[in-house]
Chain A
Amino acid sequence: MKASPEGVLTGAHYLDGDHACAEGALAAGCRFFAGYPITPSTEIAERIARRFPKVGGVFIQMEDEMASMAAILGAAWGGVKAMTCTSGPGFSLMMENIGLGIMMEVPCVVANVQRGGPSTGLPTMVGQQDMMQARWGSHGDYGIIALSPNSPQECFDRTIQAFNLSEQYRLPVFVMMDECVGHMTEKVVIPEPDAIEVVPRRLSPLPPGEYLPYAANGDKVPDMVTAGEGYRIHTTGLTHDERGYPDMTAEAQDKLVRRLRAKIDDNAEKIYDHECKRLDDADVVVVSYGITSRVARAAIDAALDDGLRVGEIRLITVWPFPAELIRDLAANTKAFVVPEINLGQMVLEVERAAAGAARTIPVTHAGGWVHDPQTIYDAIREGLRGNAAPRKSARKPRKEKQP
Chain B
Amino acid sequence: MSDARKNAQGPATAEPEATPDVRHPMEPFLRMDRFPHIWCPGCGIGTVVTCFADALKKGAFDLDRVAVVSGIGCSGRVAGYIKLDSFHTTHGRPIPFATGLHLSNRRLKVVVISGDGDLIAIGGNHFIHAARRNVDLTVICINNFNYAMTGGQVGPGTPVLAISTTTPFGNFEHPFNLPALAASSGAVYVARWTSLHVRRLTNSILEALTKPGFTFVEVIAPCPTLYTRRNKLGTSLEVLESYRDNSEIRHGADPSTVDISFGGKIVIGKFVDIEGKPTFLESLDAAMHRALGKDYGLGKDYYMRSAGQRALVDREARHD
Contact = CB atoms under 8 A, between A and B. Distances in A.
Interface of A: 1, 4, 6-7, 29-32, 34, 53-58, 60, 62-64, 66-68, 70-82, 96-97, 99-100, 104, 200-201, 203, 209-212, 215, 226-238, 242-243, 245-246
Contact of A54 (B80, B99, B292): B292
A80 B65 contact: no
Given A62-B99, A74-B99, A232-B85, 8 more contacts: A4-B305, A34-B99, A56-B297, A67-B126, A74-B102, A97-B90, A232-B64, A232-B83
Given A63-B126, A234-B86, A56 B80 contact: no
Contacts of A201: 307-309
B85 A66 contact: no
B319 to A, nearest CB: 14
Contacts of A29: 305-307
B88 A235 contact: yes
B227 interface: no
Nearest to B291: A53
B260 interface: no
A60 B99 contact: yes
Contact of A66 (B9, B96, B291, B303): B96
Contact of B302 (A6, A77, A82): A6
A96 B97 CA distance: 13
8 contacts: A31-B304, A54-B295, A67-B129, A74-B97, A78-B103, A82-B104, A201-B309, A237-B88
Given A215-B2, A215-B5, A232-B64, A78 B108 contact: yes
B294 to A, nearest CB: 10
Closest 7 CB pairs of A and B: A74-B100, A78-B104, A29-B306, A200-B308, A71-B100, A78-B105, A67-B96
Interface residues of B, number: 63
A228 B2 contact: no
A391 to B, nearest CB: 51
B262 interface: no
B147 interface: no
Contacts of A58: 103-104, 284, 298
A80 B104 contact: yes
A226 B309 contact: yes
B85 A228 contact: yes
A81 B4 contact: no
Contact of B31 (A7, A80, A210, A234): A234
B5 A212 contact: yes
Contacts of A96: 90, 93
Interface in B244-271: none
Nearest to B281: A58
Contact of B100 (A34, A63, A230, A233): A34
Q: Which of A72, A97, A229 has the most CB of B within 10 A?
A: A229
